[in-house]
């Protein structure tokens, strides 16, 4: 098994045509290893959300390749991309985005149900919810729990399929600093316990003081390393 | 339970307003069909019932070409009464008469009033016209007469016990007259009986028109309504008297002229009902489009975590199925309740004939299934629109 789980090769994303053309990503290349805890930082409009969409197979690059778990994804059709997203990626969104019509447990079960997994889906989801400390909230409607609890449930949902990469988009952006700290700690613990690759997109570098790598996006270009945005700008 | 069924049901349950609206649309479509059926089919069946009971019976025998049957009716009625399924057979003779009536010194006259001659004993067994006597009793003697209510009113208020004079022209062109004692007034709801006629003893009428032993028709009543048996008995009867130039008709054939126009009316009303049901499909499309729009975020999240287009399609089609199933169930339930009420109360409108309400199970099932499939059909376009949402676009709402 290759150590590289995600590779971007000269990825560019251009929106619009002619004079209105905007280059949201400009020749971005990097590799991420299994188990890495990576932060993608950038100011608003820098292109980090576009990059997240590329990595998350939610959008296709205008140029370049996105290779996930050894497979070039830009040539996959819609059904194959959906299946690949389901199997290889876990998503944690800024507002948790649990489905409000389902219970916490049903939300966590959903990725495996979509996959049609033959495993004990309910047990897997319950185990994960216990790990993230939500054993008391399992059967509550997902819109009846707090923001911090919802984000922890979202992390459980992101992990339930044991994906290659978990993508988190501003996972603490909607939380107070204490709760945000708890969520960060949980993500780090899960990453370590499960040797799980985490890619976190954020504008707030300080919420994540201890990460393996930081990729900074400035005007659509990616700068790899542990430098801060200020250092790169300088 | 499949997660898509669960999700579809939960989404609907949490949008109760939309669910109730869509279910109501389906239910009302079905209810319109049921109400139409109960009222218009009920009137149609009531007309057939009354025409069968009063005028034609289950089999109506007359001459193929001539106005009267010359051979004695006894031959035919005896044949029919040997058939186990036949309740009774009775002859009838018709003609028209001028009527003179004097009441409180005032002279009244009516011209060309239809006269029906009946054989009282067998007529009571075969037909139900005797049950329409609202005042007095049925024809029982040679000089007794039952007057239809309309005739009675036209003559200035004929009552039981009054005397009437009938003047008729016989087949030789001679004018004959006879005085009668009014024994009863006949009145039917809906006027399918002899409200505009008078009823006398058939032998008296034969004397007046100089047609001894003749009759116009034989009225045959079966033990119970059985159209197949009526056709078979008719066939055997015509075979038995193949040289008599008779025609034997079922009620539908005998009353064809009256019923033809009514059937067209029912078809038109049903068409309006089905059009109403079709309109409810548009309501479902609108409601489901609103549902899809309100669930853009959820669709985006589902697509992001791996749901395929067909999964999204299935969730919203399933919603259509749920709406269709609940709507069809509720509509059929309410429709059946209305039908039962109409049947149990012998529903009628402002003194018209009582509706003949029947449970047409195949039509009830057909209507429910049609509504169900229409709801699914109506869900297809909104569901398709839902699948067209790109996850990245849907996620913009996140």
Length of chain B, in residues: 398
Q: Is B346 helix (H, G, I), strand (E, B) or coil?
A: coil
pLDDT band at B67 (very low <50, low <70, confident <90, very high): confident
How close does chain B come to A231, measured CA to CA in Å?
31
A83/B297 touch (CB, cutoff 8 Å), yes or no: no
Q: Which residues contact B318 (CB under 8 A, 6 or more apart)?
A: B4, B5, B8, B9
DSSP chain A: --SEEEEEEEEEEEES-GGG-EEEEEEEEEEEETT-EEEEE--TTSSHHHHHHHHTTSS--SEEEEEETTEE-TT--HHHHHHHHHHHEEEE-TT----TTSBHHHHHHHHHHHHT--S-HHHHHHHHHHHTT-TTTTTSBGGGS-HHHHHHHHHHHHHTT--SEEEEESTTTTS-HHHHHHHHHHHHHHHHHHT-EEEEEES-GGG--S-SEEEEEETTEEEEES--HHHHH-
Give CA torsion, residues B275, B276, B282, B288, to 10 deg.
-140
> Taking CB atoms and an 8 Å limit, are A78 and B301 in contact across chains?
no
CB contact under 8 A, B298 and A58: no
**DSSP per-residue codes, B123-178:** HHHH-SGGGGEEEE----STTEEEEEHHHHHHTT---TT-EEEEEEE-TTS-EEEE
Q: Which chain B residues contact residue A114 at CB under 8 A?
A: 3, 302, 305-307, 311
Please name the member of A83, A95, A106 whose beta carbon is closest to the beta carbon of B306.
A83
What's the rounded Cα separation, in Å, for the pair A18 and A28? 22
Residue B396 confidence (pLDDT) above 80: no
What architecture (CATH level 2) is domain B91-217?
Answer: Beta Barrel (2.40)
CATH architecture of the domain covering A36-62+78-233: 3-Layer(aba) Sandwich (3.40)
Percent of chain B with pLDDT over 70: 98
Which residues of chain A neighbour B13 with C-beta distances below 8 Å?
101
Which residue does chain B place closest to A57, by CA atoms? B304
Tell me whether residues B14 and A97 touch, CB distance under 8 A: no
Give the closest residue to A217 by CA, choosing from A48, A61, A63: A48
Interatomic CA distance for residues A225 and A234, integer angstroms: 15
Phi, psi at B183, each rounded to 5°: -100, -15
pLDDT in tens, B109-148: 889 999 999 999 999 999 999 999 988 999 999 999 999 9
Q: Which residues of A touch B387 (CB under 8 A)?
A: none
CA distance linking residue B303 with residue A29, whole number of Å = 26
Residues of chain B contacting A108 with CB distance shorter than 8 Å:
none
What residue segments make up the domains of chain A, in order of their start?
36-62+78-233
For residues B24 and B38, what is the distance between their CA atoms, to the nearest angstrom? Answer: 20
Backbone phi and psi for residue A229, each to the nearest 5 degrees, phi listed first:
-60, -40
Task: Measure in Å the smallest separation between the Cα of B305 and chain A Cα atoms.
Answer: 5
Between helix A78-88 and helix B309-344 the angle, nearest 10°, is 100
Gap between the Cα atoms of A128 and A160, Å rounded: 7
- Interface confidence (ipTM) of the complex: 0.88
Q: Where are the alpha helices (DSSP H) in chain B?
A: 3-13, 16-36, 42-50, 73-81, 120-126, 149-154, 202-209, 227-240, 251-254, 256-294, 296-304, 309-344, 361-387, 391-395
pLDDT tens digits along B162-204: 999 999 999 888 999 999 999 999 999 878 899 999 999 999 9
Q: State pLDDT tens for residues A142-156.
A: 999 998 899 889 999
Contact A115 B306 (CB under 8 A): yes
For residue B1, give how far its alpha carbon lies from the nearest alpha carbon of chain A (Å). 11
**Contacting residues of B for A53, CB less than 8 Å apart:** 392, 395
Cβ separation B14–A110 shorter than 8 A: no
Is pLDDT at B395 greater than 80 in this prediction? no
Q: Which has more confidence, B62 or B354? A: B62
Among A97, A106, A109, A121, the residue to mutate for chain B (most B Cβ within 10 A): A97
The residue of chain A with its CA nearest to that of B396 is A49
pLDDT at position A230 = 45
Report CB contact under 8 Å: A100, B398.
no
Say which residues have a Cβ less than 8 Å from residue A186's Cβ, sequence separation at least 6.
A132, A133, A152, A155
Q: Is A195 left (phi over 0), alpha (psi -120 to 50) or beta?
A: left
Question: What's the mean pLDDT when you consider all of chain A?
Answer: 87
* pLDDT tens digits in sequence order for chain A, 234 residues long: 568 999 999 999 999 888 888 889 999 999 999 989 999 998 888 888 889 999 999 999 999 999 999 999 999 999 999 999 999 999 988 888 899 999 999 999 999 999 988 778 999 999 999 988 899 999 999 999 998 899 889 999 998 999 999 999 888 877 788 878 888 888 888 888 888 999 999 887 888 888 889 999 998 898 877 544 444 444
**Tens digits of residue pLDDT in B27-55:** 998 998 888 888 888 888 888 899 999 99
Quickly tell me which residue has 């778990």 as its tokens: A69
Q: What is the pLDDT of residue A178?
A: 81
Report the mean per-residue pLDDT for chain B: 90
3-state secondary structure of B44: helix
Looking at residue B204, the DSSP 8-state letter turns out to be H
H-helix or E-strand spanning residue B96: strand B86-103
pLDDT confidence bin for B373, thresholds 50/70/90: very high
pLDDT above 60 (res B398):
no
Rounded CA gap, B99 and B111, in Å? 6
Q: How far is B302 from chain A (nearest CA, A)?
A: 9
Domain regions of chain B by residue span: 3-49+259-395, 91-217
Which residue numbers of B have CB closer than 8 Å to A's CBs?
A: 3, 6-7, 10-11, 13-14, 297-298, 301-309, 311, 391-392, 395, 398
pLDDT by residue (tens digit) across B288-318? 899 888 888 889 899 999 999 999 999 999 9
């Amino acid at each position: 098994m290759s150590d590289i789980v995600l590779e971007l090769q000269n990825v560019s994303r251009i929106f619009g045509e002619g004079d209105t053309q905007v280059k949201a990503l400009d020749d971005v290349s990097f590799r991420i290893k299994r188990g890495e805890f990576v932060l993608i930082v950038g100011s608003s409009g820098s292109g980090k959300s576009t990059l997240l969409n590329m990595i998350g197979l939610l959008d296709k690059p205008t140029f370049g390749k996105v290779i996930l778990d050894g497979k070039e994804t830009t040539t996959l059709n819609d059904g194959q991309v959906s299946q690949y997203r389901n199997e290889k990626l876990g998503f944690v969104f800024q507002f948790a985005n649990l489905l409000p019509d389902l219970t916490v447990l049903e939300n966590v079960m959903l990725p495996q149900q979509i996959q049609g997994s033959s495993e004990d889906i309910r047990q897997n989801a319950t185990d994960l919810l216990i790990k993230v400390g939500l054993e008391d909230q399992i059967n509550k409607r997902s819109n009846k729990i707090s923001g911090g609890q919802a984000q922890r449930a979202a992390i459980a949902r992101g992990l339930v399929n044991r994906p290659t990469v978990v993508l988190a988009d501003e996972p603490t952006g909607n939380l107070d600093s204490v709760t945000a700290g708890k969520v960060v700690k949980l993500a780090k613990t899960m990453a370590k316990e499960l040797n799980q690759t985490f890619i976190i997109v954020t504008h707030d570098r300080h919420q994540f003081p201890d990460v393996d790598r930081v990729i900074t996006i400035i005007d659509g270009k990616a700068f790899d390393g542990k430098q801060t945005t200020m250092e790169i700008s300088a | 339970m499949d997660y898509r069924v669960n999700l579809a049901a939960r989404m609907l349950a949490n949008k109760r307003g939309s669910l109730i609206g869509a279910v109501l649309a389906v239910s009302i479509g079905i209810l319109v069909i049921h109400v139409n059926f109960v009222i218009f089919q009920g009137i149609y069946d009531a007309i057939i019932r009354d025409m069968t009971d009063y005028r034609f019976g289950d089999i109506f025998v007359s001459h193929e070409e001539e106005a009267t049957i010359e051979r004695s009716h006894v031959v035919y009625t005896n044949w029919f009464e040997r058939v186990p399924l036949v309740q009774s057979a009775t002859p009838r003779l018709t003609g028209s008469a001028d009527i003179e009536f004097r009441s409180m010194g005032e002279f009244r006259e009516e011209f060309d009033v239809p006269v029906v001659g009946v054989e009282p004993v067998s007529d009571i067994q075969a037909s139900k016209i005797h049950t329409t006597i609202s005042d007095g009793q049925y024809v029982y003697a040679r000089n007794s007469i039952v007057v239809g209510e309309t005739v009675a009113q036209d003559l200035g208020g004929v009552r039981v016990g009054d005397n009437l004079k009938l003047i008729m022209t016989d087949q030789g062109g001679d004018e004959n007259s006879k005085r009668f004692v009014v024994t009863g007034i006949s009145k039917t709801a809906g006027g399918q009986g002899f409200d505009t006629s008078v009823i006398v003893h058939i032998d008296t009428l034969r004397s007046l028109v100089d047609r001894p032993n003749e009759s116009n028709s034989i009225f045959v009543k079966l033990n119970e309504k059985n159209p197949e048996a009526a056709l078979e008995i008719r066939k055997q009867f015509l075979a038995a008297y193949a040289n008599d130039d008779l025609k034997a008709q079922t009620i539908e054939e005998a009353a064809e002229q009256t019923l033809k126009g009514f059937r067209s009316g029912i078809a038109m009303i049903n068409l309006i009902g089905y059009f109403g049901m079709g309109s409810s499909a548009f309501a479902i499309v609108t409601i489901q489009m609103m549902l899809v729009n309100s669930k853009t975020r959820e669709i985006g999240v589902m697509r992001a975590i791996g749901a395929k287009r067909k999964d999204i399609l299935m969730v919203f089609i399933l919603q259509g199925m749920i709406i269709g199933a609940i709507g069809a169930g509720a509509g059929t339930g309410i429709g059946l309740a209305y039908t039962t009420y109409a049947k149990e109360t012998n529903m009628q409108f402002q003194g018209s004939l009582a509706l003949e309400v029947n449970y047409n199970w195949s039509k009830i099932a057909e209507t429910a299934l049609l509504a169900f499939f229409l709801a699914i059909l109506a869900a297809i376009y909104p569901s398709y629109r839902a699948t067209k949402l790109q996850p990245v676009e849907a996620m913009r709402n996140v």
